[in-house]
Amino acid sequence: MAATTISSFLTTTTTTTTTTTRKGLLFPLSSSLVTGSRRIDRFSLKSTPTDNTSQLVSSSSPSPSSSLDSSASDVVRKFYDGINSRNLSTVVDLIAHDCVYEDLVFSQPFVGRKAILEFFEKFIYTISQDLQFAIDDISGEDTSAVGVTWHLEWRGKPFPFSKGCSFYRLKVEDGRRKIIYGRDIVEPAAKPGDFALVAIRSVTWLLEQFPQLAERF
């Protein structure tokens, strides 16, 4: 789930009691968010999970557990539920300690559960709660890998340039299925069309002429 769509097309006013930039963490745990006329109190990562569920993304089981009784796709659905409900306490146990998350609009992946949670904390409390993820399709046959296509909706209406595709790999940790790897690809705002093919051909020609350039990638 990528933040580029949000930062490019939605301006959100935030108010916090204090602000810190420690490792990218934008808001302190005691702050609250003001979006339009709505005030959203932030959840502590150690708070008790709530029964709030998204109207857009629903899992087959109401339990926040990611035990082996839950399928891989159930775990991923619960992950989206937690993001939509703005309650990261329900997401913590779905992510493995050594998980790697790649959002391809960022130059480097987020490594480790702590870094990933800090990224999503910054992401969900910077945008309006009216903006929600809606799953278009999700694979359910594999027990350790899940593919998802999704888009964002603003109060039930499609948000522009927000279609995305994600891949998740899971492993069993402490008797539960947890996400060990994730990758997000988001629809670009600028659509180059045939120019993309021209660019690829040009880069390919350069590599054929100067193979050593490939070592810089």
Interatomic CA distance for residues 73 and 142, integer angstroms: 8
What pLDDT was estimated at residue 31? Answer: 38
Cβ atoms of 150 and 134 within 8 Å: the answer is yes
Our CA dihedral for 39, 40, 44, 48, rounded to 10 degrees, sits at: 120
For the question of whether the overall pTM of this predicted structure is more than 0.75, the answer is no
H helix runs in the chain, sequence order: 4-9, 72-84, 113-124, 194-209
End-to-end CA distance of the chain: 25
What Cα–Cα distance (Å) separates residue 194 from each residue in 53, 172, 210?
A: 42, 43, 25
Mean pLDDT score of the chain? 76
CATH for 4-216? 3.10.450.50
Q: Is the pLDDT confidence value at 51 over 80?
A: no
What pLDDT was estimated at residue 120? Answer: 94
What pLDDT was estimated at residue 176? Answer: 93
Q: Is the pLDDT confidence value at 7 over 70?
A: no
The model's pLDDT over 55-109, given as tens digits with 9 standing for 90+, comes to 344 333 334 455 677 899 999 999 999 999 999 999 999 999 999 999 999 999 9
Q: Is the pLDDT confidence value at 27 over 80?
A: no
Burial of 182 (0-12, 13-18, 19+ CB in 10 A): buried
Higher pLDDT, 19 or 136: 136
Within 10 Å of residue 38's Cβ, how many Cβ atoms? 10
- Residues forming a β-bridge with 103: 184
Interatomic CA distance for residues 178 and 37, integer angstroms: 37
Higher pLDDT, 49 or 185: 185
The model's pLDDT over 139-163, given as tens digits with 9 standing for 90+, comes to 999 999 999 999 999 999 999 989 9
Our CA dihedral for 52, 58, 62, 67, rounded to 10 degrees, sits at: -120
Angle made by CA atoms 110, 111, 117, in degrees to the nearest 5:
65
- Which residues, 6+ apart, have CB-to-CB distance to 149 below 8 Å? 135, 136, 137, 138, 163, 164, 165, 166
Q: Where are the domains of the chain?
A: 4-216
